[in-house]
A and B are shown apart, each in its own frame.
Chain A
């Protein structure tokens, strides 16, 4: 199970990669595997703002629908439109082509405090 170094992780199995004052967000390989075949990802509109742990979208597998939670406060600057036609990218490449949203991180909102590094997240899923 891949848990790349350099990313930050939530308890809800989202990952976040900081790039300057922006960040890219997706779900982890563990989450994608647990959900099974992803068939639909409901995404927010560009410009929408989210607080940490607020639901920014929904991911549907064959069996179930699950909320996606914002790892940090920010404004959506881009969504991965490729997931509209190819939601299975979340299964095949969760840390790459299966990314979901790009956010402009809110300033002074606690940033990425409280997120886990790869080692801590690995421990979390191994305990699950």
Chain B
């Protein structure tokens, strides 16, 4: 009865010749983590339990190994303009030391991946794609940067990423770094040190809490992880796996590639039209298609759902709208919300059926289960 393929969203990697391990895999084993194959990486899904880990991040602080994520550098005099021609946002507008959320789309407007673009310095940008999309993103960027004076360096396999997330993250991290965290704004990044080792420290995350992401050379993840766990003990820090990361981002209404986002979805459908900068001067891949969507409206729209009962809507479950005969949709993510104590989900519905309060019926194992469209996000930090 154990399902060997849990609904780890985005866990459909291309057949990897061998499973990759992060620098921290032995630490995860020592901490008793349940390890799974995620996007071709052997990653911790949980240590002490998803609910406890989730709660630690909401109330205190949690520590994540995210070294499977990609880090693709784009540098050179034409780096900013090259990126602006490659992704839907306009990285040339980023101030040095700032970052923004972006997407890279195909010519038809479908999403190849969602990204964080950091302007680390002048014409040096770091693009962070999902682990499962590292190669397609690097390949698309390489192609799109041709003709721009920019060089691409995929540093993913020599860069570790450790995240500290939660209301006490700054308090915990400050004594361990020379970066002034009080002046490091949300979506900012600074080069400095962590535990005496060179690190890029960004105030970004995927949990809906304050927190930091530390990009370091591969092997440095181990001493930094150890230092954070030790210094975090008085704060009640817990190592957290991808399971808690998924419930945290779901509560925060953040989309996940492979669930809410994919080639068959455009940014407007995902409720992320604000990320697409149609007013930037240059052409970019997907522009014509996205202008059409912006003008005509999306074919489907992402909504938040709260279940009326205890049943949990999961990725791929179909739904229908009783008040609108024939209208159907599909669940993209669903889980019991540890913070709200009720099952929540996200999914796509026809645009006409997305107003808050619309009742839908989700098919959960041949039963019709009622749920209501609710405002996203489900959780917002106070």
Contacts and interface: CB of A to CB of B under 8 A. Distances in A.
Nearest to B51: A37
A52 to B, nearest CB: 14
Interface residues of A, number: 24
Interface stretch (B12-20, B42-50, B217-225): B42-50
Nearest to B312: A60
Interface of A: 12-14, 27, 31, 34-37, 39-40, 42, 58-69
A56 B229 CA distance: 43
Contact of B247 (A12, A42, A62, A68): A62
Interface in B30-47: 34, 45-46
A35 B45 CA distance: 11
Given A31-B1, A40-B310, A64 B336 contact: no
Contacts of B247: 62
B341 to A, nearest CB: 10
B3 to A, nearest CB: 5
A39 B334 CA distance: 13
A42 B365 CA distance: 11
13 contacts: A31-B1, A36-B45, A39-B336, A40-B310, A60-B336, A62-B50, A62-B247, A63-B8, A63-B335, A64-B3, A65-B365, A68-B1, A69-B1
Contacts of A66: 1-3
A80 B94 CA distance: 58
Interface string B354-379: 00000000000100000000000000
Given A34-B34, A60-B312, A62-B247, A13 B8 contact: no
Contacts of B226: none
B1 A40 contact: no
B1 A62 contact: no
Contacts of B7: 63-64
B203 interface: no
A102 to B, nearest CB: 18
A31 B34 CA distance: 13
B2 A40 contact: no
A62 B243 contact: yes
Interface in B276-306: none
Interface string B239-250: 000010011000
Nearest to B243: A63
B147 interface: no
A41 to B, nearest CB: 10
Nearest to B9: A63
B234 to A, nearest CB: 26
Contacts of B81: none
Q: Please indicate which of the listed interface residues B3, B46, B51 has the most CB atoms of chain A within 10 Å of its own CB.
A: B3
Nearest to A67: B1
B314 interface: yes
A40 B314 contact: no
Contacts of B46: 36
B6 interface: yes
A40 to B, nearest CB: 5
A33 B204 CA distance: 32
B62 to A, nearest CB: 15
Interface in B327-352: 335-336, 338
A64 B1 contact: no
B314 A37 contact: no
A70 B143 CA distance: 55
Contacts of A67: 1
A35 B3 CA distance: 8
Contact of A63 (B1, B6, B310): B6
Interface string B299-330: 00000000000111010000000000000000
Contacts of B6: 63-64
Nearest to B367: A42
A88 to B, nearest CB: 9
A58 B314 CA distance: 13
A65 B314 contact: yes
